[in-house]
A and B are shown apart, each in its own frame.
Chain A
Amino acid sequence: MANPAAVGHEGEPFRLDVERGKIREFARATGSSNPAYLDAERPPVPPTFLTTQFFWQDGGADAWQRVELNQQRGMHAEQEYVFHGQPPVAGTSLRCRSKITEMYEKRGRRGGVMTFVVMVTEFRDETGRLVAEAKMTGVETGRTPGETS
């Protein structure tokens, strides 16, 4: 079961270096041949690129650990990225921090109770300006995902 006491928990700050080669690899893996990603000297990140924060977020920086969602029944429900201006470009070093912001329950169509948990990660540039936010919604279902038809 998810731990309701996790709401409000903030992970330690961590750093995400936006690298040109990583953008290229990510763009190709997501089916893009866009020269804006592949050829530019300082390409912007693709819309879902900030998911690579997984690489950088461990130990105390990983606020999600505190949630204790049952992994057998846990699934990614929604993901959102907001960019305050142009998405960050290669060469930028982002200061990041994740926080568990919400936990709520909903009754599923087949009767089981589903627990939703929201984590917001803020991304700031070298000047401290908020350049992007990621909002992840995870869900713990009343049954294992393998039982999904």
Chain B
Amino acid sequence: MTQPVLTVPEPLVRGPLTRTDIVRYQGASGDMNPIHHDEGFARAAGFTEPFAVGMFPAGLLATWATDWLGAENVRRYRVRFREQVWAGDTLTCSGSVARTYEVDGVWHVDLDLVCTRQTGGVAVQAWATFVLPR
């Protein structure tokens, strides 16, 4: 099979995020740490207000990738948490192809992924590997 040509889709833009978006993710994931929804708890920990679970922007970025290359085709997804995400933020999820390569007749693609805030700051950075169906 010849090397596949991939067309990178438009970025996924989400926002402005609401407290409800953050809490909906908490409920779905089961991570009910009060620092992500309880004003008093967040302030006592030294923050101005609650902020999003890091896995929330990580999940949005994964959504951009699986909506492009297929939910069943992901083989690896690694994310690094860089900046906190707050209610009111607008996030942009996008990525690029790092390389495509063949293993035992199956084409794989490695992606460099990034989720940025409206400030330009990087919320999460990720690396993913997908297989490409024939």
**CB proximity of A133 to chain B, nearest CB, Å:** 10
Instruction: Please tell me if the beta carbons of A32 and B55 are within 8 angstroms of each other in the complex.
Output: no
Instruction: Please tell me if the beta carbons of B63 and A31 are within 8 angstroms of each other in the complex.
Output: yes
Assembled-state Cα–Cα distance A81/B59 (Å): 12
Q: Residue B128 at the A interface, CB < 8 A?
A: yes
A interface size (C-beta, 8 A):
39
A-B contact count (CB 8 A): 118
Assembled-state Cα–Cα distance A31/B56 (Å): 10
Instruction: Please tell me if the beta carbons of A34 and B71 are within 8 angstroms of each other in the complex.
Output: yes
The interface stretch among B1-9, B20-28, B96-104 is B20-28
Q: Which of B71, B80, B128 contacts A46 (CB 8 A)?
A: B71
Instruction: Please tell me if the beta carbons of B80 and A25 are within 8 angstroms of each other in the complex.
Output: no
- Given contacts A48-B59, A54-B31, A83-B74, 9 further A-B pairs with CB under 8 A are A26-B28, A28-B28, A30-B63, A34-B66, A43-B71, A46-B71, A78-B79, A86-B72, A146-B47
Give 24 pairs: A residue, B residue, CB < 8 Å, sorted on A. A22-B28, A28-B24, A28-B28, A30-B56, A30-B60, A30-B62, A31-B63, A32-B63, A34-B67, A47-B74, A48-B62, A52-B28, A54-B29, A54-B30, A76-B54, A77-B81, A78-B81, A79-B78, A80-B78, A82-B76, A85-B75, A87-B74, A144-B46, A147-B46
